Structure 1
Amino acid sequence: MTGERAIEWDLPEPFCLEITVSDDDTDRLGHANNVVYVRWLEDVSWAHIESLGMTWALHEETGKAMAITRTEIDYLASANAGDRLLLGTWLTGYDGRFRSSRQFQLVRPADGKTLVRALSTHACVDLKSQRPARAPKAFAEILGSAVVAGGPGLAVD
């Protein structure tokens, strides 16, 4: 769009979700509420894995899902009602068995400012028991092939 600045993404070729901040997204301080940022992270995560073929139908078929085990969010600047934002994400790690990691960057194209940076880790769980489970082959193929080099990856215990 005219008047927007070039975005300096932390990693190349993010999967992006466009967001327009609504009045309902704001809190008493007049900016997007922290809970809304978490919802946006979840929305872009689902959209990304579904675009890679890791659909909910595949989750149901395998009886497995990747559940968030940790999220770290750095709030760098506020977003206000009416702001148009781009939320980029990358898969940055997959251990080949149970865990994956993802990086996020939320940018306001109008001024090129990064508003949020976040990291999340995920563990494969059995949908019935909710207990940790080895990722099915289909997940391993999708996650393994989508990992972007250069991100923080997984912290190995």
Structure 2
Amino acid sequence: MESYEKRIKVTKKDLDELNHVNNVRYVQWIQDISKEHWQTVAPDEMKAGILWVVKKHTIDYFSSAVEGDEILVRTFIANTKGAISVRCVEMYHHETNQLLVRSLTEWCLLNALTLKPIRISEAIKSIFVPD
């Protein structure tokens, strides 16, 4: 699977004191869609015994969204190496297709029992990383 997407409608609770979407809210949406993509696409037997943790977020903010806007959120795996998967999340204003936010997040795969990093398997790569 190359990408995963969903739409979010901006509500009053998403806003900061400037009546724009709060940066903290964007971070939450980045994490939410990342987890949702994993939970939706990975088979249960693949998810057993492992978990993902964030190592690093890099976020570029290009434009603002306001209450009532609909945002298209799209995510995909940019690359993997060892235990690290770099996931891109892009958010677009649904009506204008203007890029609002682009993030790259390094996720580290851990053994759920030992909490030690483990190499991303070929099975995981085959589902999430395009050829």
Query: Is the pair's TM-score, using the shorter chain for normalization, greater than 0.5?
Result: yes
Residue 77 (structure 2) aligns with: 91
Distance between the aligned counterparts of 1:133 and 1:116, measured in 2?
A: 30
Distance between the aligned counterparts of 1:75 and 1:126, measured in 2?
A: 33
Distance between the aligned counterparts of 2:15 and 2:128, measured in 1?
A: 33
Residue 41 (structure 2) aligns with: 52
Distance between the aligned counterparts of 1:120 and 1:105, measured in 2?
A: 11
- The CA RMSD measured in Å over matched residues stands at 2.0
Report if aligned partners of 1:15, 1:90 keep a CA contact under 8 Å in 2: yes
Where 2:13 maps in the other structure, the secondary structure is helix
Task: Give the AA of the match of 2:128.
Answer: A
Residue 146 (structure 1) aligns with: 128
Report if aligned partners of 1:90, 1:148 keep a CA contact under 8 Å in 2: no
1:58 to partner: Cα distance: 4.8
Task: Give the AA of the match of 1:143.
Answer: K
Distance between the aligned counterparts of 1:126 and 1:41, measured in 2?
A: 23
Where 1:120 maps in the other structure, the secondary structure is strand
Residue 8 (structure 1) aligns with: none
**1:79 and 2:68 are equivalent in the alignment:** no
Q: Which of 1 and 2 has greater Rg? A: 1
Whichever structure has more strand as a proportion of its residues is: 2
Q: Deviations over 1:85-106 (max 9, x none)?
A: 10001111122x3111111110
Which of 43, 47, 53 does residue 67 from structure 1 map onto? 53
**Which residues of structure 1 form unaligned runs of 5+?**
1-12, 150-157
Distance between the aligned counterparts of 1:38 and 1:54, measured in 2?
A: 26
**1:110 and 2:111 are equivalent in the alignment:** no
1:51 to partner: Cα distance: 2.4
- The number of aligned residues is 130
Task: Give the AA of the match of 2:28.
Answer: R
Which of 29, 37, 48 does residue 40 from structure 1 map onto? 29
Q: Deviations over 1:70-91 (max 9, x none)?
A: 1100010011111001000111
Residue 22 (structure 1) aligns with: 11
**Closer/same/farther in 2, CA of residues 58 and 23 from structure 1, 3 Å limit:** same
Q: Which runs of 4+ in 1 moved over 3 A?
A: 128-131
